[in-house]
Structure 1
Amino acid sequence: MSSSTTTPGSGPLTDAGPLSLCAREPHVPADRLVAEMVPPPRFDAVRFATYIPDPNQPSQTEAVTVLENFAAGLGGAHAVGGGRRGLFGFGRSRAPKTPAGPRGVYLDGGYGVGKTHLLASLWHATPAEPALKAFGTFVELTNLVGALGFQKTVQTLGGHRLLCIDEFELDDPGDTVLVSTLLGKLVESGVALAATSNTLPGKLGEGRFAAADFLREIQGLSAHFRALRIDGEDYRHRGLPEAPAPFTDEEVTKAAYATPGASLDDFPHLLEHLAKVHPSRYGALTDGLTAVCLTDVRPVPDQSTALRLVVLADRLYDREVPVLASGQPFDRLFSEEMLKGGYRKKYFRAISRLTALARDAKGLVDQ
């Protein structure tokens, strides 16, 4: 029988102590990568009916209507084995000719306007078995190609009715060519596409690399999509109180010991550890965690580290893992130069999501 001790004001402390992200080096087999291409826990129950458009932003209501019609158009029979399936009203068992125009929808807008909610709602609304629909982030998609190989990925996803890509970003020329070729092959197989991003398809890569040198690939990507602009404010902070100020190291440590399933890490050491784990494994890095507790949060030292932190923030948000922290507030993680550069929208999204998770974690100190 295990025992426990109590520290005044902190609740029971377990003998084992909290977990550590720095002690984890997950390896994710390819079959798990495929099986987990579904909406993450935070978006498992969302539907078009649960999306609440801002009455002052008509583009949000329009997006729901367009996506509902898009999903309805994916209900036709599918000729298995490489044949094209129904899309935009092509609901016949015989493979139709590829329709003119875009083969997918692209949700563009600022952070916090509900793009991932709408993308997951589209996945749920599409009348097909879950095995014929795939949902993943851009980095998860590129990692799937790395794990399976290009041809196997085309074969695996080519039989799908719908591929949803969240957080679509092109951060280097290699990804540009890879994704352009992959999506072209999937479109030829009749796969419908849907994606979210903070950047219009024709603007992908701007401010990150010499996009002009890869204009053909970028234009090819853009041709696959009908862009839907979604305007609005960040719903995560609309009408809510300010995020809680950082706690002390002692408060964070006590909360970590008092919370079963929580992790406790020093922030600078965690940033070093993230460099040793591929970003596609950050979801597995958080497996089973009930909370993430961080001490000594400080501004990130460079762009590469900042981009890794963005991915971790996304995975924690997807999995609804609260984040309790000491040190600097999350809105000071990124330098002014970073917030004005090509990745600024990613950084603002990370700040928004970490702030929401910090709000969720406030109760851990009060227990």
Structure 2
Amino acid sequence: MKQAVRGFDFRRIMDDKAQLNQFVLDEQQRQVIQSLHALGKTLNAPKKAAKGIFGLGGKKTGGVYIWGKVGRGKSFIVDSFFAAAPVSSKMRVHFHDFLRDLHRQMNAPQAADNTLETALGTLLGDCRLLCFDELHLHDVGDAMLVKGLLAWVISSGTVLVATSNYPPEQLLSHPLYHARFVPSIKLIEKHLEVVALGGTQDYRQLGSNDLTPFCEGVFLCPGNDLQRRECGLPQPGIGRQSLNMGSRTLELLSAPGDFLHFSFEALCVAPTAVMDYLALCDRCDCWIIEGVPKLAGQSGATQQRFINVIDVLYERQCRLYLFSEYGLDEMTRDVEQEDIQRTRSRLSQLKNYV
């Protein structure tokens, strides 16, 4: 049986995209593209044949783990690979959405077997290629789910392409929990080709993504009444009401309609969770967040909630109007959490109204 896909040429596909969009692929991007090109050549091999670590030319065929700083083109390249990959049974998932779906499946009352392995089998089925975007682990509970996912993917012969801002050895870096994830890190290093995507240019700063719904949002500083009126946004406190989220109640600053209108305190200082943000995105795809302070003065938990909110809004491509007395530089300065760089990069894509 033929195991190579002769007609697949991911290098040519990306050269054509670069020419169409008038940008130049740098050397590290070309290295990532070459790794995915080689991986794509193996995708039509039977799943049982894919269980081996090495395929064409001695390359690892379990997949590719791509890590690097924000805005270096990881998601763009992987999205392009996913679209072109010569296999019909494939899935592309975001980190937060997939974990929510996994929780739901494990807790489904009608499920005869609520084990993690059964839930993964139900969600992924006979998936041949799984593209997992923005892998980042700070919560030990999430890490144990990802640990099970990695084991399932590798044992089933599913090809995994993952992106992250972190090299594998820095996943779940908290010293109290890191040792519990070390076996999973070794699985990644054994079965996946680990490729770094560096470079000094944050391509999001170039404005090439400014037509997406998220990028149609606005960063309003200092967020005065004139700015509010000109953007057609409601005043806080008019029609204020509570929003029931099952076991949690969130306070809205104005009546829900075209917007969900939150204060920073209600959304990030209060003990909210990623599951809340995902459920809220299902209700409305346009948000207002008022009164974002200097984040360095907030607790680590509050900072992480804000990072998570922006991640979810960006992944779901919701429009965001963000009010702060501080510009983006001052708002994010001196925050120790590395993930704030991803948040900063994403917020820099909002239109500025100062």
1:257 and 2:233 correspond: yes
Structure number with higher relative contact order (C-alpha < 8 Å, ≥ 6 residues apart): 1
1:229-282 deviation line (CA, Å, top 9, x unaligned): 111211111489xx9771433135322438x83443332233245x33x31452
Say which of 263, 285, 292 aligns to 1:297: 292
1:172·1:208 contact (CA, 8 Å) conserved in 2? Answer: no
Write out aligned runs for 1:154-193 (5 A).
154-156=120-122, 157-193=124-160
What CA deviation, in whole Å up to 9, does each residue of 1:65-114 have, x standing for no partner? Answer: 322332343234x5xxxxx2xxxxxxxxxx42622244110111101111
Change (3 A) 1:293 1:333: same
- Answering whether residue 79 of structure 2 is matched by residue 120 of structure 1, we say yes
Give 2:346's aligned residue: 353
Aligned length, in residue pairs: 288
Distance 1:62 1:136 in 2: 23
- Taking the TM superposition and a 5 Å limit, the aligned residue runs for 1:266-281 are 266-272=263-269, 275-276=271-272, 278-281=273-276
User: For residue 192 of structure 1, what is the amino acid of its counterpart?
Assistant: V
* Whole-Å separation in 2 of the counterparts to 1:332 and 1:209: 31
Which residue pairs with 1:141 in the alignment? 98
Residues 59-138 of structure 1 correspond to what in structure 2 (within 5 A)? Answer: 59-76=28-45, 84=47, 95-96=48-49, 98-101=51-54, 102=60, 103-129=62-88, 132-138=89-95
CA–CA distance in 2 between the matches of 1:352 and 1:97? 37
* Gaps in structure 2 of 5+ consecutive residues: 1-12, 55-59, 107-115, 209-217, 235-256
- Quote how far apart the aligned CAs of 1:284 are: 3.9
Residues 265 and 122 (structure 1 numbering): CA distance in 2 closer, same or farther, change over 3 Å? same
Confirm or deny: 8 A CA contact 1:165 1:194 kept in the other structure: yes
Q: Matches of 1:61 and 1:53 in 2, distance apart?
A: 16
CA distance in 2, matches of 1:53, 1:279: 37
Residues 174-213 of structure 1: pairs in structure 2 closer than 5 A: 174-207=141-174, 209-212=176-179
Matched, 1:50 2:17: yes
Rounded to whole Å, the distance in 1 between the matches of 2:182 and 2:206 is 38
Deviation, 1:208, is 5.7
Q: Distance in 2 between matches of 1:226 and 1:120?
A: 18
Question: What is the aligned-residue identity percentage?
Answer: 25
Q: CA deviation at 1:356?
A: 0.8
Give the drift of 1:320: 5.2
TM-score (norm 1): 0.68
Superposed displacement of residue 213, structure 1: 5.2
Helix, strand or coil at the partner of 1:297:
coil
Q: 1: CA distance between counterparts of 2:227 and 2:269? A: 20
**How high is the TM-score relative to the length of structure 2?**
0.70
Q: CA deviation at 1:55?
A: 4.7
Which segment is superposed worse, 285-294 or 325-334? Answer: 285-294
Kept in 1, the 8 Å contact 2:258–2:286? The answer is yes
Distance 2:328 2:175 in 1: 24
